[in-house]
Chains A and B, each alone.
Chain A
Amino acid sequence: MAISPKHQVEEPVAKQSVAMSALHKATVAHRRGGLVNGDTLFRGITTFFALSVLLVAVLMIATLWYNARASMAHFGFGFITSNAWDPNLKLLFGAGPFIFGTIVSSLMAIVLAGLVGVGVALLLVELRLPRWFSTPVSLLVEMLAAIPSVVYGVWGIFVLIPLMQAHIDPFLQKLFGWTPFFALDTSGGHSLLTAALVLAVMIVPTVTTISRDVIRVVPADQREALLALGGTQWEVIRFAVLPYARPGIIGALILAMGRAVGETMAVTMVIGNSSYIGPNVFSSADTLASRIANNLGDAGDLELSALFELGLILLVVSVLLNVLARLLVWSVSRGSAAMA
């Protein structure tokens, strides 16, 4: 941060004069006998709103739990593995395919986004690029996160899916068609792979910004030690920066995974929305969030409860991922994790 000495001198003076006049008014008001225990009251009010943050979290879990209890009582733990979804005849519901779709699409996304996103973060921090280059690049990467997911969805439908169908899927099929993972594309481009690609684009900014911040706090002497030993730029990254920042980078990846798990609109518009458990990435599938979005509108009582249970699973998974990620990122920012 470049702070010109002029500003350093000027700022406090200017601020203080504002402060003085405001304080004077405040003192006068105080003498007139305002609230005697205003401090207690103010602290009480802010504490109430701080507590309400915790309250909101508890309330959300409680609400979902309350509404999901019919489904939990009806299906028990089998709900998690069952792959039934029959709202019309037998009224059987299970979360299996949606948990599968959620995990597979986000894992694929995180592999793609992780490699690229950490690469960009290293580029921005370690290569000592000029500011006119690195500032716009990191701003543009962050803009990827600002684009609304429905816009990604529209782009996915009209650009990415035709592209997948016409070029990428056949290419991959020709190359890896002998494995069960790239079996015949029967879904016309609406697939796990397409969803994973869109997700990857959406979570790259999370990976990049957080691992960039983590890489930035790697102490300079770590790098200098390797440079003094004659290390190249890459060796500095490989042997000094990455080991030190590793927990934080893993944290960034998990955090990004948390975002991918909860992403709804873009996924539901490209994944094809059909229950599927299997190895083929060209198959259409469905995720927890996407199933909720599609079915909640006209669900019967038990289906509604089952959808709430999907929501509860989604909330618990994303909270766990977030907690884990925050702990990892904090451990690096505090400078304690490199010892571990």
Chain B
Amino acid sequence: MATQAPTRTNSIMRDNYGRRRVVNRIMVGLLCLCAIITLVPLFAVGGYVVREGWPALVGQFPGIFTAPSPEGGELLYGLEGTALLIAIACAIGLPIGILSGIYLAEFGRNRLGDTVRFMSDVLAGLPSIVAGIVAYSIVVLTTHHYTPFAGGLALGLLMFPTVTRATEGVVRLVPDTLREGGLALGVSRWRTIVSVIIPASLSGIITGVVLGIARVAGETAPLIFTVLGNLNGFSGWDQPLPALPLQIYQDFINPQDPNQDYPVGYAGVLVLFLFVVLLNLGARAVAARRMARGR
């Protein structure tokens, strides 16, 4: 760097300014073009989802949300299934995520901490289908049942890295004066963490949890062969379970009757899209407000 820079800049200076200014204009224009190219798909997808989903949702309202009838209730079942799966995922993923995050922030300035930090970053990029087959082999292959637990396990595996890193981030932001205050008063360290540090960073931890939920709420791939999906809603802990993203996939890929399944699918797409986007926006808004407060 240091040795190359002068020769490069010399070559810049020899060129005439007019040409360089034109190049500059063109390149800045291209950067703006990049932004437009990126945002076109967002509006294309969002517009499509609303255009198809809104009439479908309104047209079938409130039938698709009320259970159970021959031609209604699909979305209700899907939403119930998704809620159940998220609850199981939280039961598995949150203890690991939150407690390992606390470890990293409070005790993690050592080699184990570095390793765990690195590994949770790497696991954040875990392909969702891999979480699916791992859960499939651990639960479905051994119990010979499609069960909500298998799906919840897969989602939990996908969820916890997000929570780990978010928790570490916010717990670390708590000023050391609070920790020192606790120690100076003769309070044990764990008590300080539980009664002072965690309450002080609670809103941040919750933000991390919400982001974790948003990360997995729309996942389809790990559910195909763990909960399988069904048409009757939750029917037992050792039975297949429907879930909203899975239903959408099946409505479009394997429709029993496109005239009936597509509108349900479109309504589901809109509901899922809004749910995930709003979770994300909400978590980000809370996080941004906390940052603005300077914490």
Distance A270 CA – B1 CA, assembled complex (angstroms):
45
Stretch at the interface among A49-57, A70-78, A172-180: A49-57
Q: Is A49 a contact partner of B103 (Cβ separation < 8 A)?
A: yes
In the complex, chain A residues whose CB is within 8 Å of the CB of B118: 323, 326
Distance A117 CA – B21 CA, assembled complex (angstroms):
24
In residues 216-275 of chain A, which contact B (Cβ within 8 Å)? 225-226, 229-235, 237-239, 243-244, 255, 258-259, 261-265, 269
In the complex, chain B residues whose CB is within 8 Å of the CB of A96: none
A153 touches B (CB below 8 Å):
yes
Q: Is A259 a contact partner of B125 (Cβ separation < 8 A)?
A: yes
In the complex, chain B residues whose CB is within 8 Å of the CB of A116: 34, 37-38
A25-B294 in contact given A49-B99, A326-B118 (Cβ < 8 Å): no
Closest to B225 in A: A296
Q: Is B196 a contact partner of A235 (Cβ separation < 8 A)?
A: no
Closest to B121 in A: A326
B8 touches A (CB below 8 Å):
yes
Chain A positions 272 through 316: 1 when the CB is less than 8 Å from some CB of chain B, otherwise 0: 000000000000000001001100110000000001100100110
Distance A23 CA – B195 CA, assembled complex (angstroms):
7
Min CB–CB distance B217 → chain A (angstroms): 8
A166 touches B (CB below 8 Å):
no
Count, chain A residues at interface, CB 8 A: 116
Give 28 pairs: A residue, B residue, CB < 8 Å, sorted on A: A1-B292, A16-B181, A23-B195, A26-B191, A30-B188, A42-B190, A45-B99, A50-B99, A50-B100, A50-B104, A53-B116, A63-B134, A119-B31, A127-B28, A140-B42, A142-B284, A147-B218, A150-B218, A151-B45, A201-B41, A235-B12, A258-B125, A264-B127, A289-B129, A297-B224, A308-B133, A311-B129, A318-B126
Contacts from A to B (Cβ < 8 Å): 1-3, 7-8, 11-12, 15-16, 18-20, 22-27, 29-30, 34, 38-39, 41-43, 45-54, 56-57, 59-60, 63-64, 66-67, 115-117, 119-120, 122-123, 127, 137, 139-144, 146-155, 157-159, 201, 204, 208, 225-226, 229-235, 237-239, 243-244, 255, 258-259, 261-265, 269, 289, 292-293, 296-297, 307-308, 311, 314-315, 318-319, 321-323, 326, 338-339
Contacts from B to A (Cβ < 8 Å): 1, 5, 8-9, 12-13, 20-21, 23-24, 27-28, 30-35, 37-39, 41-42, 44-45, 48-49, 52, 95-96, 99-100, 102-104, 106-108, 112-113, 115-116, 118-134, 136-138, 141, 157, 160-161, 164, 175, 177-178, 181-182, 185-196, 199-200, 214, 217-221, 224-225, 228, 245, 248-249, 252-253, 265, 269, 272-273, 276-277, 280-281, 284, 291-295
